[in-house]
Structure 1
Amino acid sequence: MVIQIAPFLNRYAKAVLLLCGLTGFSANGLANSDSNRDIQRIVSLSPHLTELVYSAGGGAKLVGAIEYSDYPAQAKSLPRVGNYQSINIERIIALKPDLILSWKNGNRARDIEKLQSLGFNVWQTQTNNLEDIGHLIAAIGKRLGTKKIAENKNRQLQKTLQDLSQQYAQREKISTFYQLWQRPLMTVNGSHFISLALNICGAENIFAELPLIAPEVSIESVINANPKLILLGGQKQFQQSWMQDWQTYDLISAVKNQQIYRLDNNLLQRPTERFIKALPELCRTIDQARLKMDE
């Protein structure tokens, strides 16, 4: 049995699904994951969840993962249970997982309901803030018997966030456009984990108030907002052409003052331990633009 995912996601899966939703810990998620059961075999339905299991010290218990689960290196050899176009139910059944980690904002509700109807123990995850990335690592560790490793990792990540918040709290705000995709032109709203990271660094997302988490916007709306900084997400092979395309719009302050920066998508595409550890460099990049703004 193969469950199909919406056609829109087929087109933009790699660029958008890795970035389009907050993911992580839900206060009810642990209780719903049948916490009395001994977990030895895990299937992950999102690349970021695969990473978090390794961060929690439970990588040896992973028996299957969705496509693009490519970090750390050993994740590449895990059996695939589908991709952003389909979930392979037969393969999941054959792997006999006693826990399936799912992404509430990324995996379709009816897919999860189907897995649950087959008797699988499915833990649906969801986050509300950056701190929850570390909290989810701790929760996974508690569930998998690697509590000490996971809680130590959580403490480290919380300290990084606290230190950055204090360091940049008094910095002058800089209006920022984060580009998620080019055609159509897409960005993130204020509840997305990228936008929350921008806030920590003292940057203001010009589209924070939009209702969709990964909205399509017009070039005219970017011109009207006139950001002083443009940050390019997306895959590395696209970023140079995106930067060239912006040169046409020199009415935008960021373009006029050459404040367009390419970000390391490998580090910033998923809400994981690597994402938190990459935030100091993101803040330094934003600081460069801030200094130019003051010249």
Structure 2
Amino acid sequence: MISSALRRCRLALAVLGVALCAGAGAAITVQDDAGNTVTLAKPAQRVISTAPHITELLFAAGGGERVVGVMSYSDYPEAAKRLPVIGSDATIDMERLLALRPDLLVVWQTGNTERQLAQLKSLGIPVFYSEPKRLDEVATSLTRLGRLLGQDATAQAAARDYRQKIAKLAAGYAQRAPVRVFYQIWEKPLFTLNGEHIVSDALRVCGGRNVFGALKVTAPSVSTEAVLQENPEAIVGGERHDGQSGIHIWKPYKGLLAVQRNNLFMLDSELLVRASPRIADGVAVLCEKLETARRHRP
């Protein structure tokens, strides 16, 4: 009896061992932001990032040591500044990229040019398209990239922490009295963002409404007259230091509600336009600015 039980136990352990080995060698499959299925035979070891927000996502997901090349302006975290730069939003040095021997390319679907994307796709290296358009998609980006990197636990913890921050902000501000906002990304020419961009989702969390949210183009050019016609209660733009450009161009328009109520707000635009976990910090500042606008009401 003992001998028979021992044999059954050994057999069970052997079967379990085979199953574990099979699981360890199983392919990794996720869906990217373009709806494509991305499959790796094993966790990625050498990853190229083609946008600053992607670099931040990869580091936050636990893959910082796996990133071997980045695009220009990948300046966070500090370690990213020391990585080889393989190009900019205009050009990619394909020879340098291939010399880094990547086994995964994480690319910005709309930030990289069609020519660049075609070149990258032609290399035969697995490609993950990154384009978070909603705040929660930052969290799902972390978990999907973490899976491709073999860093599930780290990525899930980062996603959980990020979601808690966003949920706390939404609970405090999303149901507050709406504030109509013009979000300015540049002044010459005048550019804004539409409702499909993640900035508009940040505005929603803060109880804000994008006055140009219905436009079809993600980053449309608008006229001064269009802004005056919309007459936003608040104007938000990136920090500038000369006092004459940026959102300061609106100061002469005394009839503009945002000017009348002193609601021209500057903030670190990278914290909002980069779809990385740091956007939670940007949303917190944005919510404070819109709350100030509410306090400025008669």
TM-score bracket for this pair, using the shorter chain length: 0.7 to 0.9
Q: How does 1:107-126 map to 2 (within 5 A)?
A: 107-126=112-131
Equivalent pair of 2:182/2:211 in contact (CA under 8 Å): yes
Distance 1:232 1:121, change over 3 A: same
Q: How does 1:63-82 map to 2 (within 5 A)?
A: 63-82=68-87
Q: 1:175 aligns with which of 167, 180, 205?
A: 180
Taking only aligned residues, the RMSD between alpha carbons, in angstroms, comes to 1.8
Percent of aligned positions with the same letter in both sequences?
36
SS at match of 2:296: helix
Q: What letter is aligned with 1:291?
A: R
Matching of residue 271 in structure 1 with residue 275 in structure 2: yes
What TM-score comes out, normalization by structure 1 length?
A: 0.86
Structure 1 residue 238 displacement after superposition: 5.9
Matched, 1:191 2:196: yes
Residue 282 in structure 1 maps to residue 294 in structure 2: no
The residue type paired with residue 33 of structure 2 is S
Structure-2 residue corresponding to 1:58: 63
Match of 1:152 in 2: 157
Unpaired segments ≥5 residues, structure 1: 1-23
User: Residue in 2 aligned with 1:101?
Assistant: 106
Higher relative contact order structure (alpha carbons within 8 Å, sequence separation ≥ 6): 1
SS of corresponding position for 2:129: strand
1:25, distance to aligned residue in structure 2 (A): 5.2
Structure 1 counterpart SS, 2:275 = coil
AA aligned to 1:249 is Y
Q: Is the 8 A contact 1:137 1:150 kept in 2?
A: yes
Report the equivalent of 1:26: 33
Per the alignment, do residues 237 and 266 of structure 1 end up closer, same or farther by CA in structure 2, a change over 3 Å counting? farther
Unaligned runs of at least 5 residues, structure 2: 1-30
Runs of 4+ in structure 1 displaced over 6 angstroms? none
CA shift for structure 1 position 245: 1.8
**8 Å Cα contact 1:25-1:127 kept in structure 2:** no
**Contact 2:235 2:264 (8 Å CA) reproduced:** yes
1:244 deviation in Å? 3.2
Rounded Cα–Cα distance in structure 2 between residues aligned with 1:69 and 1:76: 7
The separation in 1 between residues aligned to 2:33 and 2:243, in whole angstroms, is: 34
> Using the alignment, how far apart are the partners of 1:244 and 1:166 within structure 2?
32
The answer to whether the 8 A contact 1:42-1:99 is kept is yes
Is 1:208 aligned with 2:213? yes
Q: Read off the aligned partner of 1:50 and give its amino acid letter.
A: T
- Bigger mean CA offset, 264-273 vs 142-151: 264-273
Correspondence for 2:46 among 33, 41, 48: 41
Cα distance in 1 for partners of 2:184, 2:151 equals 37
Aligned residue pairs total 268
Q: Deviations 1:59-85 (Å, cap 9, x if unpaired)?
A: 001110001011001101111111112
In the other structure, the counterpart of 1:11 is none
Determine which of 261, 266, 287 is the counterpart of 1:262: 266
